[in-house]
Amino acid sequence: MVQLSDSDIHTREVLNWQGLHLLHGRMSSCSQKLRIFLNLKGIEWQGHEMDLAKSETYGEWFLGINPRGLVPVLVRDGAVHIESNDILCFLEREFPEPCLIPAMQAEEVTAMLRQEDDLHLDLRTLSFRFVIGRTASNKTPEMLARYDDGSGTVNSEPDHDKRAPEIEFYQRLASQGIPDDTTRASLAKFRAAFDDLEQRLSWAPYILGQCISVMDIAWFVYASRLQFGGYPFARIHPKVHAWREKLTADERFSQEIQPPPSLLETIARNHAEWTRSRSMLADIMEF
């Protein structure tokens, strides 16, 4: 569990926040996952939305709350918790009903959440390429330098290991964009993961069995993001497609993954252009 110590927190005002507060981003997949979890639990929370397009999480105020520069962040009665999967486990302990992390499958859930987390940068790669339509970095060298200045700590220790992949991603995005070979590598990982889910959903309605769990939330967010990007679920993963459609009918799920109207317009415009040029997601992967 990653709960920041007092010395890690430089934006001191949050220490006085009472109740449950969530710093999040509308299109952040980890934020979407946590918001759905809160919806299913029926937990009341106060939101503080960060503008990711304007890189607000790389500003001094936010880095003083989470030196990793990532959303979501949970503040409960002045205690600051970071890392979405750790937050989910914390909330499951604090609010055990309804159960979303079955005790009998806790080890399996831990392993599956680790696999999901390992795919996060691959999801970002595909999101930037096929959903947001951005192949250039929105992080200036000055932002990256501030992010990596070494002043931020987690548990009173420097935190370079977690920041390095973030910096590398945006530096690579600035220097080379998102080339086809990188895209194919990320798609191959997701296809393998969805092949596994297809097998699981062939014998049960949900990923862990008969009941909705945190794994349905996590993979619903990923599948929905790739659906917006043009991933051909109905054709190659029909059971995953039917499962996602079923969850989409539940507003507690669907309201949290819906892009804003401006982004929906951008997606439609880009996909029309990419269809003409045969550069859609399915064309690149040659599904």
Please report which confidence band the pLDDT of residue 182 belongs to, taking 50, 70 and 90 as the band edges. Answer: very high
C-alpha 103/C-alpha 264 separation (Å) is 39
Mean pLDDT of the chain: 94
Report yes or no: 75 and 23 within 8 Å, Cβ to Cβ.
Answer: yes
Give residue 147's pLDDT.
82
pLDDT in tens, 138-172: 888 888 888 877 668 888 888 766 678 888 999 99
Report yes or no: 41 and 90 within 8 Å, Cβ to Cβ.
Answer: no
Percent of the chain topping pLDDT 90: 84
Give residue 84's pLDDT.
96
Give residue 177's pLDDT.
92
C-alpha 81/C-alpha 34 separation (Å) is 13
Per the omega criterion (within 30 degrees of 0), is the bond before 261 cis?
no
Return the top range by mean pLDDT from 53-57, 256-260, 282-286. 256-260
Stretch among 8-17, 18-27, 168-177 having the lowest mean pLDDT:
168-177
C-alpha 34/C-alpha 72 separation (Å) is 8
45 or 138, which is more confident? 45
Give residue 150's pLDDT.
64
Please report which confidence band the pLDDT of residue 1 belongs to, taking 50, 70 and 90 as the band edges. Answer: low
Ordered alpha helix ranges (H), 66-147:
84-94, 106-118, 120-127, 141-147
Domain 106-128+180-285 -> CATH class: mainly alpha
pLDDT in tens, 75-115: 999 999 999 999 999 999 999 999 999 999 999 999 999 99
- Alpha-carbon distances of 65 from 5, 112, 116, 193, 204, rounded to whole Å: 11, 28, 25, 33, 41
C-alpha 253/C-alpha 248 separation (Å) is 6
DSSP bridge partners of 76: 20, 79
Give residue 80's pLDDT.
97
C-alpha 82/C-alpha 123 separation (Å) is 20
Buried b / exposed e across 269-287, counting CB within 10 Å, b at 16+? ebbeebeeeeebbbebbee
- Kindly tell me the sign of the dihedral angle through the C-alpha atoms of 66, 167, 84, 34: positive
- pTM, two decimals, is 0.96
Every domain of the chain and the residues it spans? 2-101, 106-128+180-285
Percent of the chain topping pLDDT 70: 98
C-alpha 286/C-alpha 251 separation (Å) is 33
- Alpha-carbon distances of 270 from 196, 242, 266, 276, rounded to whole Å: 30, 26, 6, 10
Does the pLDDT value for residue 188 go beyond 70? yes
pLDDT in tens, 261-283: 999 999 999 999 999 999 999 99
Pick the CATH number of 2-101 from 3.10.20.30, 3.40.50.10860, 3.40.30.10, 3.90.1150.10: 3.40.30.10
